[in-house]
Amino acid sequence: MTEIKRIEVGRRMSQAVVYSGLVWLAGQCGTAGESIANQTRESLQKIDRLLVEAGSDKARILNTTIWLADIDDYGEMNAVWDAWIPEGCTPARACGEARLGGVGYDIEIICVAAVG
């Protein structure tokens, strides 16, 4: 039986779950009230850290879902994303607008990556 590894386990969720060669990350947000660019950078820094802990990295991301509180922030978010993701390693990705789980949060990034 393949072991399930949970990272940063909380009462309601883990920040990451590793199973059968994949890692699923919970939605990552930046500091509420910061600019969309800063919130995006912070979210991506958290993703980098969690991927390393899981035995992966951003070049191994398979799928990403990005939720924006305001779709008008799409261009500014993409400028940060494009500088972060390695060329030739872009994952399958979806981006949409949604009400996020707290006041001042403008972005939430969810991803799945291969481990190893």
Domain of residue 25, CATH code: 3.30.1330.40
pLDDT at res. 66: 98
Residue 22 to residue 84: CA distance in whole angstroms: 21
pLDDT at res. 47: 98
pLDDT at res. 31: 96
Contact 5, 19 (CB under 8 A): yes
pLDDT at res. 101: 87
- Average pLDDT for runs of 10 along the chain of length 116: 92 97 98 97 98 98 98 98 97 97 94 96
In angstroms, how far is the first alpha carbon of the chain from the final one? 19
* DSSP summary character for residue 101: S
Residues 6+ apart with CB under 8 A from 89: 58, 59, 60, 61
pLDDT at res. 2: 80
Q: Which domain holds residue 11?
A: 5-114
> CA dihedral defined by 40, 42, 45, 46, rounded to 10 degrees?
-110
| Number of domains forming the structure of the chain | 1
Look at the pTM and tell me if it is higher than 0.75: yes
